[in-house]
Amino acid sequence: MDKKGKVIILVAPSGGGKSTLARRLFKDFDNIKFSVSATTRPQRDYEVDEKHYYFISDEDFDQKVAAGEFLEWEEFYGGKKYGTLRSEVDKKLNSGYFVLLDIEVKGAVNIKNIYGDECLSLFIKPPSIEVLKQRLVDRGTENDETLNLRLARAEKELDYADRFDQVIINDDLDAAYEEVKKAVVKFMNQN
Ligand code: ADP
Ligand code: 5GP
């Protein structure tokens, strides 16, 4: 591939359905690659280091910040840090791939400001906070404290929905995915 790729961001509150929708995109499009972020939060049982995240120490994270290795980074959920690595995005874009970022609202705004029209941003909105809470509980990844932190943050993040290219309500998963796919295909066909 000799054409430089473009950026696709799925943005949503935690539990909004980004990872689920992203998995379907990877199955359908072999020209989309995931941007693996770095984080200081603990690894979950089902997660694989360097596939889901680069799980790194606080010290390593701070060193990367100081060295300018992040395109953007944020700290939330009681001091846990998450960041998009410049090298990770660049190597995939330069190989001609569409690079998919699964990040939260502020980081997504920063990435949009960097890439402009070379970036498609889709805000994935849960049908309601109650449904979001139930999905996070059913996912079984949170304790009471992290669940409440995520829900409190979600309420604020929903206010940012209109800043992105398109808002997609994730009520019925198949219907939401069809909307995501349609937006992605249109973006891929734009020059
Ligand atoms: P995120 O990556 O945004 O944190 P996930 O993709 O992990 O969110 O989704 C959170 C939970 O909700 C997962 O357990 C997922 O299976 C479930 N989920 C996602 N979308 C739907 C949907 N439309 N209907 C029912 N459950 C869903
Ligand atoms: P989780 O801990 O559930 O994997 O992710 C929590 C939140 O962090 C999610 O909304 C996810 O999209 C976001 N996130 C993951 N990686 C990054 C990143 O590199 N930068 C920013 N700003 N947010 C991220």
Tell me if 159 is assigned to some domain: yes
Is residue 107 within 8 A of residue 38, CB to CB? The reply is no
Q: Tell me, yes or no, whether 35 lies in a domain.
A: yes
Q: Tokens standing for 156? A: 């604020």
- CATH number at 62 reads 3.40.50.300
Residue 30 resides in a domain: yes
Is 11 a residue whose pLDDT tops 60?
A: yes
- Count of domains observed in the chain: 1
Tokens describing residue 129: 């906070």
Site residues for ligand 2, CB cut-off 6 Å: 14, 18, 37, 41, 72, 74, 82-84, 102-104, 107
Tell me how far the alpha carbon of residue 17 lies from the centroid of ligand 1, in angstroms. Answer: 4
Q: Tell how far the Cα of 62 is from the centroid of ligand 1, in angstroms.
A: 31
Ligand 2: centre distance to CA 153 (Å): 12
Q: What pTM did the predictor assign?
A: 0.94
Query: Does some domain include residue 2?
Result: no
Mutational pocket test of ligand 1: of 14, 20, 134, 151, the residue with most ligand atoms within 8 Å of the beta carbon: 20
pLDDT digit string, tens, across residues 129-187: 999 999 999 999 999 999 999 999 999 999 999 999 999 999 999 999 999 999 999 99
Looking at the domain assignment, is residue 54 inside a domain? Answer: yes
Q: Mapping DSSP to helix (H, G, I), strand (E, B) and coil, where does residue 53 land? A: strand
- Residue range 88-114, pLDDT digits in tens: 999 999 999 999 999 989 999 999 999
In a domain, 32, yes or no: yes
110 lines ligand 1 (CB under 6 A): no
Distance between CA 175 and CA 96 in Å, rounded? 29
pLDDT-derived band at 3, boundaries 50, 70, 90: low
Which amino acid does the sequence have at 46? Y
Residue 1 placed within a domain: no
Ligand nearest to the CA of 146: 2
In a domain, 111, yes or no: yes
Residue 95 structural domain: 7-188
Indicate the length of the chain as a whole number.
191
Mean pLDDT of the chain: 94
Residue 170 Cβ < 6 Å to ligand 1: yes
Ligand 1 pocket residue status of 139, Cβ below 6 Å: yes
pLDDT exceeds 60 at position 69: yes
* CB crowding 179-189: b at 16 or more within 10 Å, else e: bbeebbeebee
Identify which ligand lies nearest to the alpha carbon of 77: 2
53 Cα: distance to centroid of ligand 2 (angstroms) = 10
